[in-house]
Structure 1
Amino acid sequence: MTPHAHTDDAARDRAAITAALERLTDAWNAGDAAAYGAQFTEDAGYVAYDGSTMNGRAEIEHVHRVLFEGPLRGSRLEGSGAGDAPPRFIRPGVAVLQHGGGARPDGAAELADDRLSVATLVLVEEGPGDWRIAAFHNTRRRPAPNGPGEEG
């Protein structure tokens, strides 16, 4: 039997993962580092767009508190749709997904192209319907080399 052979289970888990991402976004937009960190597992790994790393929920919360009180104060996390894919359940209780978006600085009218990122997340179910992020890797969005419109 493949993971999520039962459609009801898959739909329930997709909805729970969507809710977890909404809580993550809401926490960012409120500048609430504790609520942001709470969306991660205790031992989560986090790679920011610039390659800096954070290890564990406590460090993720601490670093985001500094960011929310400083350079990212008032920023808004926005999805772009670019790079989005539905969760792929690689085994029961473990899902991988890609999500596009970025942080629009306070006062900016729109999310600039140079701030667009794609994040790859590994989520685990810590209890029935309770999905948390175990790994988060954020990368600035760029066209692929020799992609459409580029000469090789």
Structure 2
Amino acid sequence: MITETHDVAATLVQGLEDAWNAADGEQFGSAFADDAEFVTIRGELHRTRQAIAAGHQQIFSTIYQGSTVHYEILDSREIAAGVIVAHIAGTLTAPAGPLAGTHHALATIVAVQSEENWRIAAFHNTLQR
């Protein structure tokens, strides 16, 4: 059964997937709140939408150049009014370089509702081995 929380999470995650596959860090960052926090699969913490966008543009131009990602919503639920938590499975395929191959990750996002729209406030990404 599709729920409103699933639809919100799916819209945000589809935007991330589209941005990644276009190698567009600015577009990737646009899904995040101004004061968002992002923990990478390497355990690095990026704070602010601008830092998240810049960090992703850097990897799109280097270690993940030419890569593609696919996200799947595993579950989502509202934990407070205007706050959603969702778990996402990610599959990244890198065609070349030191990280060539297919990698799987599990992410947790927290999305918050503003007057205009929903944005990701927190994203924690974990590499699955």
Indicate whether 1:136 and 2:96 are aligned. no
Whichever residue aligns with residue 32 of structure 1, its letter is D
Quote how far apart the aligned CAs of 1:50 are.
Answer: 1.0
Which among 54, 66, 82 is matched to residue 93 of structure 1? 82
Cα distance in 2 between the residues matched to 1:103 and 1:118:
11
1:15-36 alpha-carbon deviations (Å, 9 max, x no partner): 2321111011000000011110
Quote how far apart the aligned CAs of 1:77 are.
Answer: 0.7
Task: Tell which deviates more after alignment, 23-32 or 69-78.
Answer: 69-78
Cα distance in 2 between the residues matched to 1:85 and 1:13:
12
Cα distance in 2 between the residues matched to 1:16 and 1:123:
9
Whichever residue aligns with residue 15 of structure 1, its letter is D
Paired positions, count: 127
Indicate whether 1:36 and 2:37 are aligned. no
Whichever residue aligns with residue 134 of structure 1, its letter is A
Higher strand content, 1 or 2: 2
Whichever residue aligns with residue 82 of structure 2, its letter is G
The structure, 1 or 2, with the larger RCO (C-alpha pairs under 8 Å, 6+ apart) is 2
Whichever residue aligns with residue 131 of structure 1, its letter is W
Quote how far apart the aligned CAs of 1:102 are.
Answer: 2.8
Whichever residue aligns with residue 29 of structure 2, its letter is G
Query: 4+ runs of 1 displaced by more than 4 Å?
Result: none
What is residue 92 of structure 2 aligned with on the other side?
103
Cα distance in 2 between the residues matched to 1:135 and 1:53:
10
Structure exhibiting the larger radius of gyration computed from Cα positions: 1
Quote how far apart the aligned CAs of 1:104 are.
Answer: 0.7
Quote how far apart the aligned CAs of 1:13 are.
Answer: 4.1
Aligned partners of 2:6 and 2:77 also within 8 Å: no
Cα distance in 1 between the residues matched to 2:57 and 2:3:
34
Quote how far apart the aligned CAs of 1:131 are.
Answer: 1.5
Following superposition of structure 1 onto structure 2, how do residues 1-150 of structure 1 map, counting pairs within 5 Å? 11-79=3-71, 84-106=73-95, 112=102, 115-127=103-115, 130-142=117-129
Percent identical residues: 31
Cα distance in 1 between the residues matched to 2:105 and 2:9:
19
Cα distance in 2 between the residues matched to 1:21 and 1:66:
20
